[in-house]
């Protein structure tokens, strides 16, 4: 069936305001940005404020004003709000999943999982936050007690990308709020509706005014206003390395930063690997989400002895993938999320064709079901070498670069020869290599016979090298640390 008949059609376009100081307000200049469905660009999912710096400053002020009362709010009251917001996400998961698919293209089953996982994240922090405390230190003076307290930082800016538009904000906002901070949240202007729904969940849960503020708009208009004021005591950012590094450089010493950035994630396929399984890891890790996961596999380092067999199986598997609108059940791969993404991927395909051996894909799809969307077929290049741009630069699309290796040592050297270090995987049946890989690979996340993608909400997550500031990890109990500072107290009797 054609995509055009399947995509929900709208005659009206709803507008979604900012949330500032507890009020839903439009941008002060009255300007709007369209949120466009990448599967059908005639479908405008909603209109969002094209906020100004003035609007963003108002959001920072509102967060600063709300901080004194929120930090004194009891931990059980804060936890209750997180739990209620989680309930709201659960109840609306089906509708919000459809909206997420419409605004950024991922298959609706993955969108639903993301919303339910985000609800679980809120509940996780509602519990973990209640036992996140300081320490008492043994010492010689019986008339004194020495202990630490973890106190909130103040106003925290949360800046997020479009690819996980609810789960990334949730894993930042939940630990920020439970530890007593107030938040200015800027979702990506390419997929702001899912972030809006998260803010709505907190409002429905009874979050006091000003504790969470939502600002939609272009980074060039609102970015500096929510990152550079000294009252912003922390910035948790997920996005491209270029933007994260620029923000990190622009802030003063009193603003803590947590930058979760790009990747060029390798999968090593050893000659003892189960090749069907290895192919599955490459396809699921590299092509699901249309290659638009920060942890997505983009380099496959395959042993010479199995390269031909692996490649043959990989190409056969790719042929079976169904590409199409994420709202249609059974489709494996949706469109790229934006026109900019489409342009970038097509550009890298051209670069790949010049510098390596093209095997398949990389075409913009047209015809029934495709002509109104940003669809590209998965591309595979082989004979890729370390100096090539497709081996070094983050593409963030459905493009796999096959690199031949001759030994485990060669594979590790090539895998580590990257400025990034977010996630890395190995396919092997050799326990000694599993152990060695976990030790040798320069990566924040290590996967053994698992896809480079996917991480638990209760385990630490983050990269090394240019994939992260690396000082604080997200997710899990560790995710709370970024949002608190330690105060040491010496109390005499
Ligand atoms: P992006 O850097 O263009 O934008 C991310 C967010 O930052 C958006 O909300 C954007 O508006 C905002 N932004 C950009 N410049 C800013 C500035 N100067 N000041 C304030 N805000 C600014 O990234 P994107 O295209 O939305 O997302 C894709 C990138 O995100 C990829 O590089 C991917 O690897 C990365 N990513 C990383 C992780 C991770 O956990 N490491 C997870 C998902 C995505």
The strands making up 256-260's β-sheet, listed across from edge to edge, are 23-25, 18-20, 212-214, 182-186, 155-159, 232-238, 256-260
Confidence at residue 6, expressed as pLDDT on a 0 to 100 scale:
39
Give me the pLDDT at residue 241, please: 96
pLDDT for 299 beyond 70: yes
Q: Choose which CATH entry (2.40.30.10, 3.40.605.10, 3.40.190.10, 3.40.980.10) describes domain 18-261+468-492.
A: 3.40.605.10
Q: CB within 8 A of 271, min separation 6: which ones? A: 303, 305, 306
Distance CA 25, CA 32 (A): 12
pLDDT band at 11 (very low <50, low <70, confident <90, very high): low
Q: Is 159 in the pocket of ligand 1 (CB under 6 A)?
A: yes
- Cite the residue boundaries of each domain of the chain with CATH code 3.40.309.10: 265-456
Q: Each residue of 345-387: pLDDT tens digit?
A: 999 999 999 999 999 999 999 999 998 999 999 999 999 999 9
The whole-number pLDDT of residue 12 equals 80
Q: Which is the closest atom of ligand 1 to the Cα of 244?
A: 2
Averaged pLDDT for residues 264-272: 98
Return the ligand 1 atom nearest residue 246 CA.
18
Which residues of the chain are in CATH 3.40.605.10 domains?
Answer: 18-261+468-492
Of the candidates 294, 372, 474, 481, the residue annotated as catalytic is 294
The dihedral built from the CA positions of residue 95, 98, 103 and 104, taken in this order, carries a sign that is: positive
Number of the ligand 1 atom closest to the C-alpha atom of 422: 41
Q: Is 147 left (phi over 0), alpha (psi -120 to 50) or beta?
A: beta
| % of the chain residues with pLDDT over 70 | 98
Tokens of 244: 């994260």
Q: For residue 123, how far is its CA from the centre of ligand 1 (angstroms)?
A: 26
For residue range 21-73, list pLDDT tens digits in order. 999 999 999 999 999 999 999 999 999 999 999 999 999 999 999 999 999 99
Please give the pLDDT value at position 129: 98
Is the distance from CB of 192 to CB of 186 less than 8 angstroms?
Answer: no
Percent pLDDT > 90 in the chain is: 97
CATH of 265-456, one of 3.40.309.10, 3.40.50.300, 1.10.10.10, 1.10.10.60: 3.40.309.10
pLDDT surpassing 60 at residue 197 = yes
Residue 8 has pLDDT above 60, yes or no: no
Catalytic site includes residue 294? yes
> Mean pLDDT in the chain?
96
Atom 12 of ligand 1: nearest residue by CA position: 219
pLDDT at 9 (0 to 100): 45
Q: What is the pLDDT of residues 217-265, one digit of tens each?
A: 999 999 999 999 999 999 999 999 999 999 999 999 999 999 999 999 9
Q: Quote the ligand 1 centre to 239 CA distance (angstroms).
A: 2
Q: Hey, which of 57, 159, 161, 241 would you mutate to test ligand 1's pocket, going by the most ligand atoms within 8 Å of its Cβ?
A: 161
In three-state secondary structure terms, 18 is strand
Cβ-proximal residues to 419 (8 Å cutoff; 6+ apart), any chain: 264, 392, 465, 466
Write out pLDDT tens, residues 148-186: 999 999 999 999 999 999 999 999 999 999 999 999 999
Q: What would the pLDDT profile of 405-452 be if each residue is shown by its tens digit?
A: 999 999 999 999 999 999 999 999 999 999 999 999 999 999 999 999
């Amino acid at each position: 069936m054609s995509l055009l008949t399947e995509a929900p059609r709208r005659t009206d376009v709803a507008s979604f305001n900012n949330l500032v100081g507890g009020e839903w307000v439009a941008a002060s200049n009255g300007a709007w940005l369209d949120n466009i469905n990448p599967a059908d660009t005639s479908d405008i999912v909603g209109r969002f404020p094209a906020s100004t710096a003035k609007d963003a400053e108002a959001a920072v002020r509102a967060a600063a004003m709300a901080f004194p009362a929120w930090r004194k709010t009891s931990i059980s009251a804060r936890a209750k709000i997180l739990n209620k917001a989680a309930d709201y996400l659960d109840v609306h998961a089906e509708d919000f999943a459809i909206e997420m698919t419409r605004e950024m293209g991922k298959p609706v089953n993955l969108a639903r999982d993301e919303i339910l996982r985000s609800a679980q994240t809120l509940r996780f922090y509602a519990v973990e936050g209640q036992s996140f405390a300081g320490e008492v230190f043994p010492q010689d003076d019986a008339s004194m007690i020495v202990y630490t307290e973890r106190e909130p930082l103040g106003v925290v800016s949360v800046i997020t990308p479009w690819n996980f538009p609810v789960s990334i904000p949730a894993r930042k906002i939940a630990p920020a709020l439970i530890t007593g901070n107030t938040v200015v949240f800027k979702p990506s202007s390419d997929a702001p509706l899912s972030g809006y729904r998260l803010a709505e969940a907190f409002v429905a849960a009874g979050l006091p005014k000003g504790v969470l503020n939502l600002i939609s708009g272009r980074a060039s208009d609102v970015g500096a206003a929510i990152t550079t004021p000294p009252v912003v005591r922390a910035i948790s950012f997920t996005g491209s390395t270029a933007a994260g590094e620029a923000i990190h450089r622009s802030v003063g010493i009193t603003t803590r930063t947590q930058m979760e950035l790009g990747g060029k994630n390798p999968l090593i396929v050893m000659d003892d690997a189960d090749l069907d399984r290895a192919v599955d890891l490459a396809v699921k890790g590299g092509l699901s989400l249309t290659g638009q996961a920060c942890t997505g596999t983009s380099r496959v380092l395959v042993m010479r002895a199995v390269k031909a067999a692996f490649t043959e199986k990989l190409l056969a598997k790719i042929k079976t993938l169904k590409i199409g609108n994420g709202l249609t059940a059974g489709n494996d791969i949706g469109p790229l999320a934006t026109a900019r993404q489409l342009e970038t991927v097509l550009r890298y395909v051209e670069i790949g064709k010049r510098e390596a051996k093209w095997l398949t894909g990389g075409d913009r799809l047209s015809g029934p079901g495709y002509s109104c969307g940003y669809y590209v077929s998965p591309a595979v290049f082989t004979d890729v070498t370390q100096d090539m741009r497709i081996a070094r630069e983050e593409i963030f699309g459905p493009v796999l670069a096959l690199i031949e290796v001759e030994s485990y040592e060669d594979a590790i050297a090539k895998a580590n020869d990257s400025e990034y270090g977010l996630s890395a995987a190995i396919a092997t049946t050799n326990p000694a290599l599993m152990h060695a890989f976990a030790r040798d690979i320069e990566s924040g996340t290590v996967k053994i016979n698992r896809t480079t993608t996917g991480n638990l909400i209760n385990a630490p997550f983050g990269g090394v090298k240019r994939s992260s500031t690396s000082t604080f990890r997200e997710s899990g109990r560790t995710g709370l640390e970024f949002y608190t500072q330690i105060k040491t107290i010496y109390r005499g009797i």
